[in-house]
Amino acid sequence: MRDPYPSRLTGEPRLLPRLDPVFYGKWDLSAPLTLEQTTHFEELGFLVLEDLFSKSEVETLQAEMNRLLAASQSLDPRTLISEENSEEIRSIFLIHEQSKLMRQFVSDERMAGIARYLLDDDVYIHQSRLNYKPGFKGREFYWHSDFETWHAEDGMPRMRALSMSVLLEPNTTCNGPLMLIPGSHRTFVACVGETPDDHYQTSLKNQQVGVPDENTLAELAARYGITAPTGAPGTVIIFDCNTIHGSNGNITPFPRANAFFVFNAMSNQLVDPYRTHSPRPEFIASRDVKPIKVRALSGPALS
């Protein structure tokens, strides 16, 4: 089959048009988002939602984040990613399988229901993780499109996936918040360089293959600008799988932490990777999948 999004093939980067929709469904009054919110996501490639969860729900999520970090020795060691030059935990993967609370959380209609609406399909979790960026020591996440990696190394066929980042500590302008290039989701950046074997073992700490070149980033930033959404714990940032994003390091005393969930359409399940000999492990890219049963809100959502 012809590769609709070829990347890592030539010595020169290329900008290719997006061939897939951004919003797959059709808005009506029963939708979980307003028409304005839906249009914002479709046009800019991201959306910030506040006040989705109660104070007690946010506190429950924060307590679970701290529990997972404190109990990291009891978790699957493969899912623990440390910083490049220290033992400080950078990410914990597969949290929806290693935490009953997180598994319950992703099925909530305020999470999976919105994802199912935007993708117009049943959804499953392609990837989940906690991202920690401690005060003084938290390193950057360099600019990238998630889809470029998921396509090249996981075999995600089309752009029919999105991420939901749930803030679990205050994200300020100073402590390394998520930065996005709004509008970049409509351009596929074909990157240069071959994919090393077991690339994930280094890329999860410091990705260098599958990242846009500086000239392309400068061009996109000049065209669209850069935005850095901030917010209190409980804020949800939804962004399209192809939106270029990254974050600075954190040299402030104030930690940044987010729970990160990738929802993929059931019709977009993974095939063989496009640019590597073997797929990344299951804890990074789910292959044995079944659709999430969206849980309607009735009574306390998290306990």
* Alpha carbon distances (Å) from 291 to 22, 23, 112, 271, 294: 21, 19, 10, 17, 9
* Mean pLDDT over the full length of the chain: 92
* C-alpha span between 126 and 287 (Å, rounded): 8
- Mean pLDDT for 190-196 is 83
Residue 296's pLDDT is 87
Q: Domain limits of the chain?
A: 14-268
More confident residue, 303 or 52: 52
By percentage, how much of the chain surpasses pLDDT 90? 80
- DSSP lists the bridge partners of residue 236 as 49, 166
- Mean pLDDT for 206-226 is 89
Q: How far is CA 27 from the centre of its chain?
A: 24
* C-alpha span between 259 and 168 (Å, rounded): 7
> In the structure, what pLDDT confidence band is assigned to residue 299 with cuts at 50, 70 and 90?
very low
300: left (phi over 0), alpha (psi -120 to 50) or beta: beta
Quickly tell me which residue has 């009574």 as its tokens: 299
Enumerate residues 6+ apart whose C-beta is below 8 A from 11: 192
Closest by Cα among 109, 90, 50 to 229: 50
CATH code reported for the domain at 14-268: 2.60.120.620
